[in-house]
Amino acid sequence: MESFDDRTTTPGDPPRLSAAARLAAPVIAAVTGRRSKWAVVAVALAASLLVLAFGGTATKDDGPGAALPKGAESAAVAELKERLPGAEIQTAMAVFDRAGGPFTEADKAFLAERAAAFAPTALNGQVGRAVFAEDDGTALILVPLGGDLRDDALADAVGDLRTEAKAGLPDGVTAQVTGGAAFSVDLSSVFDGANTALLGATALVVALLLLITYRSPWLWLVPLTVVGIGDQVATKAVSAFSRWGVLTVDGSTLGITSVLVFGAGTNYALLVIARYREELRLEDDKHVAMRRVLAGAGPAVLASSGTVFLALLSLAFAVTPFSRNIGLAGAVGIAVAVVYALVVLPSALLLFGRGLFWPFTPRVGQHDKTGEGVWGKTGRFVARRPAVVAAASAVVLAGLALTATGITTGLAQTEQFRTPVEATEGQKTIAAAFPAGVADPVIVLAKAATAEQVRTAAAGVEGVAESSVGETDGDLTKVTAVLTAEPGTEQSFQTLRDLRAAVSAVPDSDALVGGTQAEDLDKREAAERDQRVIMPLVLAIVMAILLLLLRSVVAAVLLIGTVVASFAASVGAGWMIFHGLLGFPAFGAEVPLLAFLFLVALGVDYNIFLVTRAREESVTRGTREGVVRGLAVTGGVITSAGILLASVFTVLGVLPLLTLTQIGVIVAVGVLLDTLLVRSILVPALVVLLGDRFWWPATPAKAIDEPAKELATAP
């Protein structure tokens, strides 16, 4: 396995230690001690088992407005409407449709029978009469359910309704059960077993790639086992935080956390093992070799994980709960991953001898072929034609990025699932026969004394088909409005904006607009706000870390620029895949921000490893030859790490939500672009073109003598 070695001392000598490394010396001694390694593994295993045994399960906040942006108007409506009579009711809708024509009299008699059959499941046995569309070929039956029904009880109730709706259907008539209750059940059901499938698929992908990378029948088992245990510990830790009220979790939160732990954890494992193999060629004592690995490579892994950790923590400033929870849970996962990679994995590796690497066992004095392969040839090609290579790379990235200029964000409720579910299909049936918003009316809450004025104002808004006054508690009254535009479209969002302006203009009404459609609008606008706030914050964090590690303004700015360009290109490629090829109408509202965070935080590390090695080599070889050598010796392990990380994110497609699939594909494409094009071609070309100016205001020799050098030592 190729490795990087950024030391200025003779290979095999202990690297000079900074203050940070000296502080870590007791930990390194414990992890690599001849006897203490057993204690480290035993303590880690015991602690892991305790966490797994007593960590408990995650809890989520099902309260009104919990999943909505802080301060959103729709969140206020979700809370206030709990005061109204009937707030304890949740609704299911049975929709019947006869293809190609109106219902017959026999069909209508059947619908009456079905309404009666729904009564045992309905709240207080009361079921609405069938409501027919204008063409008399589609009918709705509203079934109120108890608001106290949750989880299995709600799933049983919706299941009973679906069974009754489809019992004895006349030929040519279809039945579907949709509505808020059905959506909740379908969302829960599609996640049944999904995280187990995700874990299995991720572990399988990692196992195959580690087996291919190491070509050893058993070496891959050690990092896979360590990272796998770390993943389960991280899941339990996130669950504990959810019970303490720090964050809320669902299947998607835990799924992304697992992907981060496996992706980052195996990346760190690759770097540690690659450096360990290198040291075993220079040192006969495996304990001394591992001590050098941790003293030299440990700070680099800590810096890498610190970048991701801080970037994820920046999501604490997001107003979108989904993004905020992903950030906090992901930060926990990264912290666990780096502990298992730098503490548990080295001790576990030391339990075995060199035979762990068989049949490619490293021996002292063995010829190191690092730099003699394809990456050395690539570096020499780039150095001969840097301007042409840089221009060609820029054209590729710009071409892909240009396709991102037409993207839209924000998925309607019916577009959330990657594969169709009955609730979304039922909504589509309703939208085709009734006013598009009839199945999901907008809710307006206002003071009771102004309810009729608010209803009149709502009815006068273009795009509102009808409005009516509903329940009241004497102080607060609900007004419903049915929109003509299909939910989730720009037309419906504009109608909602106009509606909010109209009803808020009613004197002393304190009118607020909510409901599912308004919630979708508020989520989209909150996601756009988060992008404006979080993206610059992430860039500032990464820039600060780059300046600390590289001590070069030019290098830091260029690396930030290349990673941003890679992000833009990957979003463009993702848009071509999901919109142009697969026909999906939009990205999820949170997709651009989360993809940006993962790509910038994870992608910049590979460029750091390349540039720090190039800086080391430049001291004796000059900048041009230094970057060629740097690419030659870092190419193999970074490429392996990049392919593994991209593969792990692709596995997010196992989960049922389209948003998660989009994030996984965009990040995977971006990591591959960053690994194979930006890091391998564009950055070396820019270094060659700029020469020593790339290191300004420092010089390679000056930078290496600084204490921060150990923090950037690449494994």
> What dihedral do alpha carbons 309, 314, 315, 319 form, nearest 10°?
170
Q: What are the sequence ranges of the domains in the chain?
A: 19-61+192-410+523-712, 85-178, 423-521
According to the model, what pLDDT value does residue 10 have? 39
According to the model, what pLDDT value does residue 584 have? 87
Token pair for residue 614?
A: 């190039």
> How far is it, in rounded angstroms, from Cα 202 to Cα 191?
16
What are the Cα distances from residue 80, in Å, to 87, 288, 438? 10, 65, 22
Q: Where would I find the H helices in 551-622?
A: 553-575, 591-621
> How far is it, in rounded angstroms, from Cα 41 to Cα 35?
11
Cβ-based neighbours of 529, under 8 Å, separated by 6 or more: 319
Residues 577, 579, 580: CA angle, nearest 5 degrees: 70
**pLDDT surpassing 50 at residue 565:** yes
According to the model, what pLDDT value does residue 490 have? 85
Element at 582 (helix H, strand E): none
Q: Over range 159-186, report the average pLDDT.
A: 90
Q: Over range 408-436, report the average pLDDT.
A: 83
**pLDDT surpassing 70 at residue 442:** yes
User: Topology of domain 423-521, per CATH?
Assistant: Alpha-Beta Plaits (3.30.70)
Q: Over range 362-377, report the average pLDDT.
A: 71
> How far is it, in rounded angstroms, from Cα 299 to Cα 35?
24
Which of 13-27, 624-638, 646-660 comes out lowest in average pLDDT? 13-27
According to the model, what pLDDT value does residue 101 have? 78
Write out the E strands in 339-498.
442-447, 464-472, 476-483
**pLDDT surpassing 80 at residue 199:** no
With cut-offs at 50, 70 and 90, classify the pLDDT of residue 205: confident
- The CATH code of domain 85-178 reads 3.30.70.360
Q: Over range 164-184, report the average pLDDT.
A: 90
According to the model, what pLDDT value does residue 3 have? 38
350: number of Cβ within 10 Å:
22
According to the model, what pLDDT value does residue 344 have? 93
Q: Which amino acid is at 483?
A: L
According to the model, what pLDDT value does residue 568 have? 93
> How far is it, in rounded angstroms, from Cα 25 to Cα 540?
31
Nearest partner of 87 among 467, 443, 519, judged by Cα? 443
Q: Over range 522-548, report the average pLDDT.
A: 91
* Better pLDDT: 571 or 12: 571
Residue-wise pLDDT tens digits, 60-116: 665 666 778 888 999 999 888 888 887 677 888 999 999 877 899 999 999 999 999
According to the model, what pLDDT value does residue 701 have? 56
According to the model, what pLDDT value does residue 63 have? 60
According to the model, what pLDDT value does residue 496 have? 95
What are the Cα distances from residue 700, in Å, to 7, 284, 543, 622? 13, 32, 19, 9
> How far is it, in rounded angstroms, from Cα 468 to Cα 455?
6
Please give the mean pLDDT across all residues of the chain.
84
3 contacts 275 by C-beta, under 8 angstroms: yes
Residue-wise pLDDT tens digits, 417-429: 887 889 888 888 8
Q: Over range 491-520, report the average pLDDT.
A: 92
Q: Is residue 318 helix, strand or coil?
A: coil
Element at 93 (helix H, strand E): strand 89-98
- DSSP-assigned letter for residue 248: -
Q: Over range 535-543, report the average pLDDT.
A: 92
According to the model, what pLDDT value does residue 372 have? 60
Residue-wise pLDDT tens digits, 314-351: 999 999 888 899 999 999 999 999 999 999 999 999 99
According to the model, what pLDDT value does residue 424 have? 86
Q: Over range 555-575, report the average pLDDT.
A: 92
**pLDDT surpassing 80 at residue 22:** no
Q: Which amino acid is at 425?
A: E
Q: Given this chain, do its domains 19-61+192-410+523-712 and 423-521 carry the same CATH topology?
A: no
According to the model, what pLDDT value does residue 526 have? 92
Q: Over range 56-61, report the average pLDDT.
A: 66
Write out the E strands in 277-332.
none
**pLDDT surpassing 90 at residue 503:** yes
**pLDDT surpassing 70 at residue 17:** no
19-61+192-410+523-712 maps to CATH 3.40.50.620? no
According to the model, what pLDDT value does residue 656 have? 78
91 contacts 143 by C-beta, under 8 angstroms: yes
405 contacts 646 by C-beta, under 8 angstroms: no
Nearest partner of 325 among 142, 693, 61, 563, judged by Cα? 61
**CA dihedral (562, 564, 565, 570) positive or negative:** positive
**pLDDT surpassing 60 at residue 527:** yes
Which of 22-31, 525-534, 566-575 comes out lowest in average pLDDT? 22-31
